[in-house]
Structure 1
Amino acid sequence: MEIAEPIKVYILTGFLGAGKTTILNSLLSQFPGHKNIVIENEFGKVNIDAGLITEKIDQLYELTSGCICCSLDNDLLEVLGNILQNTDRPDQVFIETTGIADVGNIIGMFHMPEVQRHYQLVSTLCVADAENIFERLQQLPETGKQLSCADIIIINKIKHLTLPELVYLSQQLEQMNPLAFITTTEDGHVPLHTLQFSEKPLVPVSTASPVKHPHKVNTVLFESPDAFNLNMLVFVLDFHFNAYPDQLYRIKGYIRVKDTEEKMLVQSTGKYLHIQPAGSWGGQQPASTLVFIGKELKSATIQRILAPAIRKAQEKVERDRIR
């Protein structure tokens, strides 16, 4: 029996009033001839945004009993299962989360093996309102989490910004999330050709800036030639993600692991941690490179978190040498 191609998934997030639904309509209009399904989530019993979707879609699912990223985990999985029962499979699924969503958990769901068999998460897009993004960052931690989890950040409503203001905003967002591609729009129309769906290299921008950041979200880069003990690494990362969910938002990178020649891909968002083989190192010297995104992170703290996993690997080397 031929296995069907995974259904492509796009997650659209951003704070209330940023322009998510307008951008969703823009994206839908650029997939003529495709079968598109939209999953809309609004925090409340009535989903107002669903009525604003003007482009042609083949099916709309509305989740209104809570936030899609927390209490509705099971509801979302049920919807994804129902979609697979359709006689006519869709080409794509667009998920628009509520404006107060902590989107990390929903991203993590699409890394679960049983979900990955049927769905491919292409990209997470975060819409940032150019006029009040810094205010939102001060008010609500969810805004920083949404930006940190994005593969693409769309700065919307830029027409009232001067060029220096736009450059400054772009630089600040890039420092907050160096893993994301950043693009801009005045009115919510985003041409597909301007969106980069390929992976961005794991090289964060410099955190040095003469101007005080109007937010507390920052990036820490960890680099080391030392190998990790995989079991200990999973333990320390799981512990700290669960112990400090409001401080540590996202991890992504490649690591060197003791007793294997393969490099391993590390991805962590929300409550989900995934470490999986990512091929050989090729001509590269095996070494670990991890990008941490969170609130007021410090390099010394990251070093301290990871140290037990490196030390455990080194202890094994010493025991093997003695034998």
Structure 2
Amino acid sequence: MGSAERLSATPVTLVTGFLGAGKTTLVNHILAEAAGRRVGVIENEFGDLGIDSELIAAPSNTVFALNEGCVCCSVQSDLVAVFEGLAGQRQFFDHIVIEASGLADPGPVMQAFERSQLGSAFRLDGVVTVVDAQHVEQDIEDVQVCAEQITYADLLVLNKADKLSESRIRALEARLERLNPIAHRLRSIHARVPVEKILQIGVREFEEAGQAGRAFPRAHGAHRHDDSITSVAVQADGDIDLDSLDRWLGFLVRREDMDLLRMKGLLAVPGQARRFVFHGVRDVVDVIPGPPWGVELRANRAVFIGRGLDDEQLRRGFLACLESSGGLQGQGRSR
């Protein structure tokens, strides 16, 4: 594809980063500050309950959910199918953002754009990796894909920078530069960075290098996930008791027989017209107010990702936090 054709193709930004880094927060920031751009979002989650897709602040007809796997492997064909469908709707979108699962390797996703049927209509503008400044060093040691996400990035967003001292931030930036010396870096709080720096990576590279396009990574052998990492999904109607949930989550993160990497969920709280959102990254858990329920049925949904997870124990523990168990049904699923 020539330079002119490539720049006329619809740009795509791949947002990646390990579990809990702040990818959805960044995507919502992009949507809020898009300055008239019509942005479509492809949302990928590892578990079989789509939590993040419900937290995206965009019309439902512009958000495409891919659950039960990662776009880099088990649902890659679904990703291609979504783009094939979007090819006939390109006039409605100025930019596409893919939010990959926190366990996704960016390499195979990038290679998907080498397919002729995608490359003629869409171009990968850039890869943005959100880095959790508070936990990334432990994540790199624990899970190989975290380092791979950093290595493939065109731009590293060093999120939660306010949680570290200046000396620790500088040391972390030095380590990130060793992992990826060519990526630009931005510090952020709540993933707030200039949107132009996110959505115009390819244009900037074109201006700087005098040519369009980007180098795709070559296949480096069969990609496979750390099979010890699984997810458990639980859902239940009714209202949740926040005090009970707080005590139970505190107990969970202190358990030594389960290594919880990530928790997230939507909660129905008694007397509240809005849903509550809870996020947990390792031993840090936050519960914050979210958007109103509207006409949607009030319900509680949670996904737990980690090692050594006990499906039944997590299901029972979550259901025990309901304000009343009478007549309520919950369902737990693992993968």
Range of TM-score over shorter length: 0.5 to 0.7
- 1:58 deviation in Å? 5.2
Matching residue of 2:96: 93
Listed one character per residue, the Cα deviations across residues 160-212 of structure 1 (whole Å, up to 9, x for unaligned) are: 2111111111111011001211111022111135557234999xxxxxxxxxx
Task: Name the residue aligned to 1:169.
Answer: 172
Letter in 2 for 1:127: V
**CA deviations over 1:62-119 (Å, ceiling 9, x no partner):** 0113211101121111100111122743111100001011111001111333321100
Match 1:241 to one of 209, 220, 228 = 220
C-alpha distance in 2 between matches for 1:60 and 1:244? 27
1:35 aligned onto 2:38:
yes
Query: What residue in structure 2 maps to residue 190 of structure 1?
Result: 193
Q: Secondary structure at the match of 1:159?
A: helix
RMSD of aligned residue pairs (Cα, Å): 2.8
Per-residue CA deviations over 1:18-47 (Å, capped at 9, x if unaligned) read: 100011111122213222110001112211
Q: Which runs of 5+ in 1 are unaligned?
A: 203-236, 247-323
| Matching of residues 269-280 of structure 1 within 5 Å | none
SS of structure 2 residue aligned to 1:12: strand
Query: Aligned to 1:53, which of 53, 56, 81?
Result: 56
- Alignment equivalent of 1:16, drawn from 10, 15, 19: 19
Match of 2:72 in 1: 69
Q: Which moved more, 1:120-129 or 1:65-74?
A: 65-74
Cα distance in 2 between the residues matched to 1:73 and 1:163: 40
1 CA distance for matches of 2:16 and 2:118? Answer: 20
**1 CA distance for matches of 2:65 and 2:116?**
25
TM-score, structure 1 normalization: 0.59
Query: Which whole-Å CA distance do the structure 1 matches of 2:158 and 2:223 have between them?
Result: 29
Q: State the alpha-carbon separation in 1 of the partners of residues 222 and 58 from structure 2.
A: 42
**CA contact 1:10–1:121 (8 Å) conserved in 2:** yes
Q: Distance in 1 between matches of 2:160 and 2:37?
A: 28
1:112-191 to 2 correspondences below 5 Å: 112-191=115-194
Say if 1:36 and 1:58, in contact at 8 Å, map to a contact too: no
Q: 1:137 to 1:79 in 2, by over 3 A?
A: same
Q: Distance in 2 between matches of 1:186 and 1:169?
A: 16
Would the alpha carbon gap of residues 193 and 82 (structure 1) be closer, same or farther in structure 2, given more than 3 Å must change? closer
Q: Is the 8 A contact 2:73 2:223 kept in 1?
A: no
Q: TM-score, normalised by structure 2?
A: 0.57
Give the Cα separation in 1 of the matches to 2:120 and 2:90. Answer: 18
Partner SS for 2:110:
helix
